[in-house]
Amino acid sequence: MLCFPRGRSRALLLLALRSSSASASEQACSASESPLQYALTEKRQLSPDSYLLRYALPEGRRRLGEDASLPTCIKVLYPDGTDEKTGKPKALEKSYSPVSHPGADGFMDLIVKSYPPRAGGGVGSFLCNMQVGETMLGSVKSKRVMHGDAAVLGRWSHIGLVAGGTGIAPLLQIARLVLESPAPSDASTSVRLLSINRHEEDILAREAIEALRAAHPARFKVAYSLTGNRVPEGWAGHTGRGNGAMVAAALPPPTGDGKTMVLVCGTDGFVAHWGGPVGRAPKKPDGSKGAKIQGPLLGLLAEAGYAAEEVFKY
């Protein structure tokens, strides 16, 4: 079953094709193909407002990306009425990093939060309200370049991951990619994850995180922090949005030799708190947002002594 209203999916395909023409070198991952249909095959609630959604890949596609050694990202399209000036259909767009391994055979898993409806938003609500068998449109995005290279495997000896809420998605994918790599060059790479959420029930993908920790106890260390005022009795994790003590306890220390990388993903405010705000290049001729720019390293990680080359802000 196609989830889009009848008669509009073709127009949306054309609209999406035009919107995917941005430079592939952009740090924010531009779309690299025409949109295709992805059918929902499984749906599981993870938190009061978040779901794990499994989609079958389009016919003829075995895995989501062309290179199973690189992280993947997909742009989802959702119809949003008609443009008053042109009379053509409009589409909302939102990008998601699958939490499944890039080499997953025939499927991808997304963690999606259903934010309250607002003007210009609603893709998350649309996805979370989908029923098994329905189909959404998505375009695989071009590879994300991090400090001059898209590679993750064989690049660093120590990786720190700082996730705020749904920011866990791209970071969990990277953890899986590194920890499950068969290459000898990755066998000794350590990964340390800090997952920060409001309440314990808001911790997303906790089951998957703990399974990964059980499978790689020597290489994968995990810490949690709660920012809300309902800390459960006996809570053994951290509390708060982050401070210097949390950095020292949960992340690999800066080394200054190019072998350490800390990746931060969350809301704009969360990323700014940890590493300083992410900037934007000027708007494109079509009025869409410019590419993301890392900007100077600030925040907790700068205070802790990391170099800008040791931090990447999503």
Following DSSP, what letter does each residue of 129-174 receive, concatenated?
T--TT-EEEEEEBPPPPBTTB---TTT-SEEEEEEEGGGHHHHHHH
Model pLDDT, residue 88: 75
Model pLDDT, residue 117: 65
The highest-level CATH class for domain 9-140 is: mainly beta
Query: Model-level pTM?
Result: 0.86
Model pLDDT, residue 16: 39
CATH fold for the domain made of 158-313:
Rossmann fold (3.40.50)
Model pLDDT, residue 32: 59
Model pLDDT, residue 121: 66
Model pLDDT, residue 168: 97
The parts of the chain modelled with pLDDT lower than 70 are: 1-32, 117-121, 286-287
Model pLDDT, residue 280: 86
- CATH 3.40.50.80 domain extents, the chain: 158-313
Q: Helix 168-179 to helix 206-215 angle, to the nearest 10 degrees?
A: 20
Give the Cα separation of 137 and 5 in Å (integer).
12
